[in-house]
């Protein structure tokens, strides 16, 4: 597919700048990764167990995500290559293969969350068996990917953005039914933990927000949408619009994530059987009514369907960039879909599997962030658009903080 540039030709073959709002879109596809079923499980569990304690984690993680996604998009626009391709260009073959293996494990954890979430939603809505729901979720993801293959990236962006709006409505509506207390929400902005379980959930929330596959994906989305532009005014304008694209998308995703936690903290705290999505859905129905519970389930379904298609898109980009060859879409889809279906078939608690999958994702974040920050800080690669020193420092800070949090999590889990 030929990349769509930021200029359009008029009938007299002169170029006129495309309105800025028409250049938005890639960040909204990447933002689906930040409102997937793993987010639902982690945020609802955090709110139900610890109330407003971990509000600060969502705010901090969303700010981190905005920086990371912009760096990824910038890399794609400036170099004309995706992050996996640039990593492959700067590593030896054994290192590249090893890097792909860990990225593939992260992709499996990603698909686990998304397929299981879609299966749970179909069970809540239509009482379908979880395994059948997982198969349907995987099949629908293939149909959504076919939109990108046949109709181009813009149409795919519109479909995914539409699903993002459904997700937002599904989870934001309940905030207007039972408004959370402002003082307690503000108190949740103070960073703190209450034992190893709160740290586990905080790590899961972080893994569900700063998603490794979205870091890889955004560089390719920006490149495929806008092309590889030479230095100058046009590229500077596009980078500026990309900052708006990322900012708006992350603001929407952050609002949805915060709504999940606040609804659980306001309505589910202290109630029994809220440590699963099914239990949370039942509690929402009992406290807020069947309409809100229906919207909750519809939002979860839209989340599972959209995120699994975006995750498969990212997986294909990662595999092609690091292994330097293309694979059939069906094969690529089955590689990560089968483990999720196995989890459903053997009867592992799906909500617990969702939370633990997000912890696995958090361990993959540094391996995506470290090369991203390093590469966007190289003047010989990025030219005039190399990271500012402050940006580089913030990028290394994000990678370092996540790494330390994971080490502490291991220690507390082993000793606890």
**What is the per-residue pLDDT for 407?**
74
| CB half-sphere exposure, 187, CA atoms < 13 A | 11
**What is the per-residue pLDDT for 413?**
58
**What is the per-residue pLDDT for 4?**
39
Ramachandran angles phi, psi of 380, nearest 5° = -70, -15
**What is the per-residue pLDDT for 5?**
40
Ramachandran angles phi, psi of 16, nearest 5° = -130, 140
**What is the per-residue pLDDT for 416?**
59
Q: What is the DSSP string of 78-135?
A: HHSS-HHHHHHHTS-HHHHHHHHHHHHHHHHHHHHHHHHHHHHHHHHHH---HHHHHH
Q: What is the spatial distance between Cα 297 and Cα 303, in angstroms, rounded to a whole number? A: 10
**What is the per-residue pLDDT for 392?**
95
pTM of the model: 0.89
**What is the per-residue pLDDT for 62?**
93
Q: Which long-range contacts (C-beta less than 8 Å, at least 24 apart) are formed by 377-385?
A: 381/78, 381/79, 381/86, 382/74, 382/75, 382/78, 382/79, 383/78, 383/231, 384/231, 385/74, 385/78, 385/231, 385/235, 385/239
Contact 218, 27 (CB under 8 A): yes
**What is the per-residue pLDDT for 248?**
95
What pLDDT digit, counting tens, does each position of 315-360 carry? 888 989 999 888 777 777 888 889 889 988 998 888 777 767 767 7
**What is the per-residue pLDDT for 12?**
35
Q: What is the spatial distance between Cα 235 and Cα 92, in angstroms, rounded to a whole number? A: 31
Q: What is the DSSP string of 330-370?
A: HHHHHHHHHHHHHHHHHT--HHHHHHHHHHHHHHHHHHHHH
CA-nearest of 376, 349, 364 to 402 is 364
Which residues does 281 contact at the CB level (< 8 Å), separation at least 6?
Answer: 124, 293, 296, 297
| CB half-sphere exposure, 75, CA atoms < 13 A | 28
**What is the per-residue pLDDT for 2?**
37
* Burial annotation 297-332 (CB, 10 A radius, 16+ → b, else e): bbbbbbbbbbbbbbbbbbbbbbbbbbeeeeeebeeb
**What is the per-residue pLDDT for 13?**
38
Token duo for residue 149: 């293959």
**What is the per-residue pLDDT for 262?**
95
What pLDDT digit, counting tens, does each position of 118-160 carry? 999 999 999 999 999 999 999 998 888 888 778 777 888 889 9
Which parts of the chain have pLDDT scores under 70?
1-18, 21, 207-208, 355, 358, 409-410, 412-416
**What is the per-residue pLDDT for 6?**
41
Q: Across the chain, which distance is largest between two alpha carbons, in Å?
A: 72
Q: What is the spatial distance between Cα 41 and Cα 113, in angstroms, rounded to a whole number? A: 9
Domain coordinates of the chain in residue numbers?
22-181+194-415
Q: What is the spatial distance between Cα 123 and Cα 134, in angstroms, rounded to a whole number? A: 10
Which residues does 285 contact at the CB level (< 8 Å), separation at least 6?
Answer: 292, 293
The Cα angle at residue 355 between residues 202 and 413, in degrees rounded to 5 = 60
Contact 9, 231 (CB under 8 A): no
Q: What is the spatial distance between Cα 341 and Cα 173, in angstroms, rounded to a whole number? A: 31
Phi-psi group of 232: left, alpha or beta (phi > 0 → left; psi -120 to 50 → alpha; rest → beta): left
Return the CATH fold of 22-181+194-415.
Amino acid/polyamine transporter I (1.20.1740)
């Amino acid at each position: 597919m030929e990349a769509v540039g930021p200029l359009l030709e008029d009938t007299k073959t002169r170029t006129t700048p495309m309105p800025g709002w028409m250049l938005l879109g890639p960040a909204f596809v990447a933002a689906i990764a930040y409102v997937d079923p793993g987010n639902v499980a982690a945020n609802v569990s955090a709110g139900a167990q610890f109330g407003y304690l971990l509000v600060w984690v969502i705010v901090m993680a969303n700010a981190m995500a905005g920086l990371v996604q912009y760096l990824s998009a910038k890399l794609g626009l400036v170099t004309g290559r995706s992050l996996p391709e640039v990593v492959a260009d700067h590593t030896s073959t054994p290192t590249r293969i090893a890097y792909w293996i860990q990225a593939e494990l992260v992709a499996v954890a990603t698909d686990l969350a998304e397929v299981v979430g879609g299966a749970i939603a179909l069970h809540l809505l239509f009482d379908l068996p979880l395994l059948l729901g997982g198969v349907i979720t995987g099949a629908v993801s293939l149909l959504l990917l076919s939109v990108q293959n046949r109709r181009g990236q813009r149409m795919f962006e519109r479909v995914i953005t539409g699903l993002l709006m459904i997700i937002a409505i599904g989870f934001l509506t309940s905030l207007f039914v039972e408004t959370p207390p402002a003082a307690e929400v503000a108190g949740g902005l103070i960073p703190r933990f209450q034992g190893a379980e709160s740290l586990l959930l905080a790590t899961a929330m972080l893994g569900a927000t700063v998603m490794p596959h979205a870091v890889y994906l955004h560089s390719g989305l920006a490149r495929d949408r806008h092309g590889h532009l030479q230095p100058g005014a046009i590229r500077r304008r596009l980078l500026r619009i990309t900052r708006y694209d990322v900012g708006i998308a992350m603001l929407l995703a952050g609002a949805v994530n915060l709504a999940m936690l606040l609804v659980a903290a306001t309505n589910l705290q202290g109630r029994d059987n809220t440590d699963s999505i099914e239990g949370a859905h039942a509690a929402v129905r009992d406290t807020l009514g069947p309409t809100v519970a229906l919207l909750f389930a519809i939002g979860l379904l839209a989340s599972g369907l959209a995120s699994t298609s975006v995750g498969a898109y990212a997986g294909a980009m990662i595999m092609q960039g690091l292994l330097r060859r293309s694979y059939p879409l069906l094969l690529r889809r089955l590689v990560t879909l089968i483990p999720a279906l196995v989890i459903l078939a053997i009867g592992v608690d799906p909500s617990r599997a969702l939370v633990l999958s997000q912890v696995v994702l958090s361990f993959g974040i540094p391996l995506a962030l470290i090369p991203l920050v390093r590469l966007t800080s190289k003047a010989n690669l990025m030219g005039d658009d190399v990271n500012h020193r402050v940006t580089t420092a913030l990028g290394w800070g994000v990678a370092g903080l996540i790494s330390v949090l994971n080490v502490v999590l291991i220690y507390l889990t082993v000793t606890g």
